[in-house]
């Protein structure tokens, strides 16, 4: 069949580029590995490998360009363009719809690998062949994700250039089968309005660059094993490791900032599986980078360096699997849905697990052993401990996040087994000592912890304390060995200052829990000790202070997290008398009727009104104007302080979404969020009148209609209406609908609207029930079914919103700390690059 309006050339071009990218990557890695056998300089295998990689890069660029062209021109015959873009989408979101889908985000990842590889090729030297060779194998897998071909009945990858009419979800729709189906498609489905946000433009590229950067140290490590240069790879990999730590860290924090600013999490971190999936590789990456430093200075711990570097990359693959296989389905709010690629992702993971394990085990004898033992007073000892603590942190988060995976694997058999063993002992103890310890119940499936925040905090807060102390004290140790007295002398000043300062702050903030105080002390200690090291040891030479700056940043992040979380106050308390007892202690939502002014902690707030966005791309947003006042003590008048505009997006696809609005001060943020609003009359042009649009119900005797705050029952038809009382003529035909109205308090009222036939005219006499805000009318009886038409008009309630307002004190410390951490990484990378030349 011929389909007019299609542009088949782009699909053909796209498929060609995908096939080329796949084949060239395969050729490139084969040639690069073949080149490792002989001399590298003037090696023709290496040259072919590089040329093939060039072709691969060209092909990847070609896929991106074609896909972008298709999306940009709204060629909706392509499913990807139809699914992710639309005519009304502003240009700045074109990129966002490019990587909204799985295929596009795999492509983004592949693009970054290409860019990073060219930097390595450009630097040249002996590491090109092994490193780019390993990256090329990854590119083989990534390209295969876009193939969309069937191999022995198994679908390999998902084709981004599939026609709309060939997509399995669409192809059975009747109109799709017509030749002119394209004329029937008025617009694309479009980018999910939830994601129409500038974060969607900057966050994914950053995060994927972070993911992509984990491959470089990994490729150096594997390259070292393949080439037999078991330790030489570390030095050139160090700047890459810190680059990756910086970018991935930025990506994770951007996600947190997005969650805080635009999503309704009510905070910046929710321990959502998707957040965890990017945090965990970062933790091990930080460990790997520090181990590389230890090795560079002391030639120690090469095995751990290998393990951390490899595990980091594997964890990136694992998190890809978690977020894209659909396995998190019911546990995460924003995981990708399954595209049927989980099998492929498992193969991909298994390949690198087995390859790394094989290479490590094969070469284990050749890895240099550490002969001397580290001194307790050496820097490397404490750094090593720190990396182990990071590993525990990563393990704990991974384990809990993986509960849906364990559940799928039937892991509860094991926990039930362990439980029975424990129960055996518990039984014996109970029997022997007359104790009454509960037995562990058998379970048939596992769900994530009921209170994930509490669960993670239980483990991650002590870990944060240990890491904080380690970052504070470690730099004061020298590599190899340190004079303990001197160390004590150096550290004591910071220690003293930190104790004093944290005591002062916890008194100021009224901290009443020991664990808060401990965390407060450690984070302050981290900041002060590292600052002290920078001042007294490094003499404020910024170029050398990368580590100190990054560690100060870490301390400030901890401090910001601690204070903004523990001291956050929900100021939107409900002042009504309703008390639900201890089960429902927290009343966090407050109702605001339009025009009313309500006291809320230090403020008086008022809901002024709402309006729709005016631009065509903004029409879906309802802006609610909330004014914040303070009482002026002199004039006793309310002075307006500021205005916030939380938004509700009327989102047909995902359901309505409310977006908070935050007033930022130096010392605190005031976060305001609409938790409930009534949208029934948003579309109604008469929304200024006191009545809503009338509704007509066809009722027969005995029928019930539920209204907003009452029930309406048609109990009968009164054929003997008192005509005189209603000033009707005797010749009129009149019938009354006997309507029983039951309100919330079970109070009953009877209303009888009357239908009158006078000659050829039909009219009616409605009844108005003021106390219920109801108008009832009975205009006619339907001749075909004998049912009565009852017209119900409800009085409009005062427009109101339910909102929540939270104060987050000192949250800017978190963002400032994040900036310092990035800056510290940059300084450290610069230093490493300089000393290398």
Partner 1 sequence: MKKTHIVAIILIAVGIGAILSTVSSSGTYSDFSVAAKNKDMDYHVNGKLDKAKDIHYNPEENANLFTFYMIDKKGVERKVLYNGSKPQDFEKSDEIVLVGHCTGKDFMAKTILLKCPSKYSNPNEDMKEFKAKG
Q: CA-CA distance, 559 to 810, in Å (whole number)? A: 9
395 is a contact residue toward partner 1 (CB under 8 A): yes
> For the packed helices 102-123 and 44-72, what is the interaxial angle rounded to 10 degrees?
140
Place of tokens 């109070």: 747
E-state strands within 141-185: 149-151, 154-156
Figure out which of the listed residues 43, 137, 526, 589 binds partner 1, where binding follows CB under 8 A.
589
Interface pattern 417-456 for partner 1 (x via CB under 8 A):
-x----------------------x-xxxxxxxxx---x-
DSSP 708: S
Angle at 225 between CA 220 and CA 231, to 5 degrees: 70
Q: Quick check: 189 binds partner 1 (CB under 8 A)?
A: yes
Do 67 and 98 contact (CB within 8 A), yes or no?
yes
How far apart are alpha carbons 152 and 76 in whole angstroms?
A: 30
Site for partner 1 in 333-352 (CB under 8 A): 333, 337
The overall longest dimension of the chain from CA atoms, in Å, is 118
Residue 70 or 657: which CB sits closer to partner 1?
A: 657
Q: Identify which of residues 58 and 411 has a Cβ nearer to partner 1 in the complex.
A: 411
**CA–CA separation, 521 and 504 (whole Å):** 11
> Is 594 among the residues that bind partner 1 (CB under 8 A)?
no
Question: How far apart are the C-alpha atoms of 169 and 339, rounded to whole Å?
Answer: 12
297 in contact with partner 1 (CB under 8 A): no
| CA atoms of 522 and 463, how far apart (whole Å) | 11
Kindly tell me which of 62 and 452 has the beta carbon lying closer to partner 1: 452
Binding window for partner 1 (CB under 8 A); candidates: 546-554, 603-611, 681-689, 801-809: 801-809
> Per CB under 8 A, does 413 bind partner 1?
no
In the complex, least distance from residue 480 CB atom to partner 1, rounded to whole angstroms: 15
Could you tell me the smallest distance in angstroms from the CB atom of residue 411 to partner 1?
Answer: 9
Q: How far is the CB of 230 from partner 1 (least distance, A)?
A: 20
Regarding 38 and contact with partner 1 (CB under 8 A), the answer is no
Q: Which of 80, 208, 384, 479 binds partner 1 (CB under 8 A)?
A: 384
Interface residue with partner 1 among 802, 816, 819, 826 (CB under 8 A) is 802
CB of 6 to partner 1, least distance (A): 21
Using CB under 8 A, which of the segments 20-28, 46-54, 196-204, 384-392 binds partner 1?
384-392
Q: Which residue has the tokens 């409009």?
A: 796
396 binds partner 1 (CB under 8 A): yes
Query: How near is the Cβ of 4 to partner 1 at its closest, in Å?
Result: 24
Residue 116 contacts partner 1 per CB under 8 A: no
Closer to partner 1 by Cβ: residue 200 or 590: 590
In the bound state with partner 1, the residue whose beta carbon lies nearer, of 321 and 778, is: 321
- Give strand pairing partners of 599: 604
**Is the Cβ of residue 169 or residue 634 nearer to partner 1 in the bound state?**
169
Residue 135 or 311 with smaller CB distance to partner 1: 311
Q: Tell me, rounded to whole angstroms, the distance of Cα 793 from its chain centroid.
A: 44
Cβ 391 to partner 1, closest distance in Å?
A: 8
Cα 218–chain centre separation: 26
The terminus-to-terminus CA distance of the chain in angstroms comes to 64
In the list 392, 544, 705, 717, the residue contacting partner 1 (rule: CB under 8 A) is: 392
Whole-number minimum distance, CB 824 to partner 1, in Å?
26
Minimum CB distance to partner 1, residue 675 (Å) = 4
Q: Report the residue from 458, 496, 500, 833 that binds partner 1 according to the rule CB under 8 A.
A: 458
Q: Does 804 bind partner 1 (CB under 8 A)?
A: yes
User: Based on C-alpha coordinates, what's the Rg of the chain?
Assistant: 34
Contacting range for partner 1; rule: CB under 8 A; set: 144-152, 543-551, 579-587, 745-753: 579-587
Does residue 388 touch partner 1 according to CB under 8 A?
yes
Should residue 409 be labelled a site residue for partner 1 when binding is judged by CB under 8 A?
no
Q: Least separation, in Å, of the C-beta of 377 and partner 1?
A: 11
Residue 374 near residue 270 (C-beta atoms within 8 A): no
Q: Which residues neighbour 220 within 8 Å (Cβ) at sequence distance 6 or greater?
A: 127, 130, 131, 233, 234, 236, 237, 240, 309
Note whether 820 and 560 are within 8 A (CB). Answer: no
Question: Does the protein bind partner 1 through residue 400 (CB under 8 A)?
Answer: yes
- Which is nearer to partner 1, 803 or 820 (by Cβ)? 803
Residue 100 in contact with partner 1, rule: CB under 8 A: no
Strand 638-644 relative to strand 621-631, pairing: antiparallel
**Is 574 one of the binding residues for partner 1 (CB under 8 A)?**
yes
Does the protein bind partner 1 through residue 675 (CB under 8 A)?
yes
Per CB under 8 A, which of residues 244..283 are in contact with partner 1? Answer: 266-267
Nearer to partner 1, 420 or 445 (CB): 445
Binding test (CB under 8 A) with partner 1, winner from 198, 358, 504, 676: 676
Instruction: Give the whole-angstrom CA distance, residue 432 versus residue 420.
Output: 18
Exposure of 2 by Cβ count < 10 A (0-12 exposed, 13-18 middle, 19+ buried)? exposed
Binding-site size, partner 1 (CB under 8 A): 70
DSSP per residue over 522-575, as a string? HHHHHHHHHHHIIIIISTT-GGG-HHHHHHHHHHHHHHHHHHHHHT-EE-----
Residue 624: strand pairing partners: 610
Place of tokens 């927290």: 586
| Interface positions, 735-774, toward partner 1 (CB under 8 A) | 744
Least separation in angstroms between residue 157's CB and partner 1 is: 18
Question: Judged by CB, which is closer to partner 1: 442, or 758?
Answer: 442
Buried b (16+ CB within 10 A) or exposed e, 69-96: ebbeebbbbbbbbbbbbbeebeeebbbb
DSSP string, 720-777: S--TTTTT--TT-EEEEEEEEEEETT--EEEE--EEEEETTEEEEE-EEEGGGTEEEE
Whether 600 contacts 572, CB under 8 Å: yes
Q: How far is CA 213 from CA 81, 217, 241, in A?
A: 29, 8, 8
Q: Which of 76, 47, 256 is nearest to 162 (CA)?
A: 76
Least Å distance between CB 752 and partner 1?
27
Q: Is 720 a binder of partner 1 (CB under 8 A)?
A: no
CB of 435 to partner 1, least distance (A): 19
Min dist CB 173 to partner 1, Å, is: 7
3-state secondary structure of 495: helix
Write the DSSP string, 291-352. HHHHHHHH---HHHHHHHHHHHHHHHHHHHHHHHSSTTTTT-SSPPPP-S-HHHHHHHHHHH
CB of 9 to partner 1, least distance (A): 27
Residue from the set 2, 586, 614, 761 that interacts with partner 1 by CB under 8 A: 586
Residue 374 found at the interface with partner 1 (CB under 8 A): yes
Chain residues binding partner 1 by CB under 8 A are 169-170, 173, 189, 266-267, 329-330, 332-333, 337, 373-374, 376, 381, 384-385, 388-389, 391-392, 395-396, 399-400, 403, 415, 418, 441, 443-451, 455, 458-459, 570, 574, 576, 578, 580, 583-584, 586-591, 648, 652-658, 675-676, 709, 744, 800, 802, 804, 806
């Amino acid at each position: 069949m011929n389909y007019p309006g299609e542009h088949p050339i782009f699909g053909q071009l796209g498929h060609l580029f995908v096939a080329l990218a796949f084949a060239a990557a395969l050729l490139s890695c084969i040639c690069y590995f073949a080149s490792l056998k002989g001399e590298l300089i003037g090696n023709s295998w290496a040259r072919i490998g590089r040329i093939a990689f060039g072709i691969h890069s060209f092909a990847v660029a070609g896929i991106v360009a074609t896909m972008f062209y298709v999306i940009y021109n709204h060629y909706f015959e392509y499913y990807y363009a139809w699914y992710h873009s639309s005519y009304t989408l502003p240009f700045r979101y074109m990129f966002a719809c490019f990587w909204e889908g799985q295929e596009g985000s795999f492509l983004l990842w592949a693009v970054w690998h290409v860019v990073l590889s060219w930097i390595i090729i450009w630097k040249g030297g002996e590491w090109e062949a092994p490193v780019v060779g390993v990256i090329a194998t990854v590119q083989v897998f990534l390209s295969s994700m876009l193939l969309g071909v069937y191999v022995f009945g198994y679908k390999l990858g998902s084709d981004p250039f599939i026609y709309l009419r060939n997509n399995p979800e669409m192809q059975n729709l009747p109109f799709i089968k017509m030749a002119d189906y394209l004329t029937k498609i008025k617009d694309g489905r479009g980018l999910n309005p939830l994601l129409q946000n500038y974060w969607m433009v900057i966050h994914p590229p950053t995060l994927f660059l972070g993911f992509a950067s984990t491959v470089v140290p990994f490729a150096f490590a594997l390259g070292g094993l393949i080439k037999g240069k078991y330790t030489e790879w570390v030095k050139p990999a160090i700047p890459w490791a810190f680059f990756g730590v910086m970018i991935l860290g930025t990506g994770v924090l951007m996600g947190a900032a997005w969650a805080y600013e635009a999503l309704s999490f009510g905070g910046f971190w929710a321990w959502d599986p998707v957040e965890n999936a990017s945090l965990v590789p970062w933790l091990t990456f930080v460990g790997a980078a520090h181990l590389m430093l230890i090795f560079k200075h002391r030639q120690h711990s090469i095995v751990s360096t290998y393990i951390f570097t490899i595990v980091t990359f594997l964890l990136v693959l694992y998190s890809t699997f978690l977020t894209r296989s659909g396995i998190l389905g019911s546990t995460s709010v924003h995981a990708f849905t399954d595209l049927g690629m989980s099998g492929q992702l498992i193969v991909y993971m298994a390949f690198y697990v087995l390859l790394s394990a094989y290479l490590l085990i094969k070469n284990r004898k050749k890895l240099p052993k550490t002969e001397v033992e580290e001194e307790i007073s050496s820097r490397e000892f404490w750094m090593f401990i720190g990396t182990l603590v990071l590993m525990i942190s990563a393990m704990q988060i991974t384990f809990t996040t993986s509960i849906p995976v364990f559940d799928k694997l039937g892991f509860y058999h094991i926990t039930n087994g362990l439980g029975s063993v424990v129960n055996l002992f518990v039984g014996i103890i109970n029997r022997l000592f007359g104790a009454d310890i509960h037995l562990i119940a058998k379970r048939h499936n596992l769900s994530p912890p009921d209170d994930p925040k509490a669960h993670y905090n239980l483990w991650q807060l002590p870990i944060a304390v240990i890491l904080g102390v380690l970052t504070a004290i470690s730099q004061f140790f020298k590599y190899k060995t340190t004079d303990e007295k001197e160390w004590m002398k150096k550290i004591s000043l910071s220690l003293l200052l930190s104790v004093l300062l944290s005591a002062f702050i916890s008194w100021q903030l009224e901290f009443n829990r020991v664990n808060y105080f401990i965390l407060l002390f450690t984070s302050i200690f981290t900041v002060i000790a590292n600052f002290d090291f920078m001042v007294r040891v490094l003499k404020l030479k910024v170029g050398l202070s990368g580590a100190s700056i990054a560690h100060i940043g870490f301390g400030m992040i901890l401090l910001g997290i601690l204070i903004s979380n523990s001291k956050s106050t929900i100021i939107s308390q409900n002042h009504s008398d309703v008390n639900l007892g201890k089960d429902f202690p927290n009343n966090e939502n407050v109702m605001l009727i339009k025009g009313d002014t309500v006291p809320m902690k230090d403020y008086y707030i008022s809901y002024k009104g709402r309006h729709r966005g005016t631009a065509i791309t903004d029409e879906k947003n309802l802006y609610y104007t909330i004014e914040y006042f303070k009482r002026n003590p002199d004039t006793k008048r309310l002075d307006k302080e500021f205005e916030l505009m939380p938004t509700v997006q009327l989102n047909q696809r995902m359901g309505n979404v409310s977006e908070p609005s935050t007033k930022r001060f130096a010392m605190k943020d005031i976060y305001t969020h609409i938790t409930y609003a009534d949208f029934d009359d948003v579309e109604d042009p008469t929304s200024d009148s006191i009545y809503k649009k009338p509704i007509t119900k066809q009722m027969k005797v005995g029928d019930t209609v539920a209204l907003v705050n009452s029930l309406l029952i048609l109990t009968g038809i009164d054929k003997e209406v008192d005509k005189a009382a209603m000033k009707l003529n005797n010749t009129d035909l009149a019938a009354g609908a006997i309507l029983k109205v039951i309100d919330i308090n079970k109070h009953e009222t009877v209303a009888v609207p009357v239908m009158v036939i006078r000659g050829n005219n039909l009219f009616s006499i409605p009844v108005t029930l003021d106390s219920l805000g109801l108008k009832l009318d009975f205009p006619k009886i339907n001749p075909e079914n004998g049912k009565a038409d009852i017209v119900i008009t409800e009085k409009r309630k005062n427009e109101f919103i339910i909102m929540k307002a939270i104060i987050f004190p000192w949250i800017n410390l978190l963002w400032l700390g994040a900036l310092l951490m990035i800056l510290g990484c940059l300084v450290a990378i610069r230093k490493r690059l300089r000393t290398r030349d």
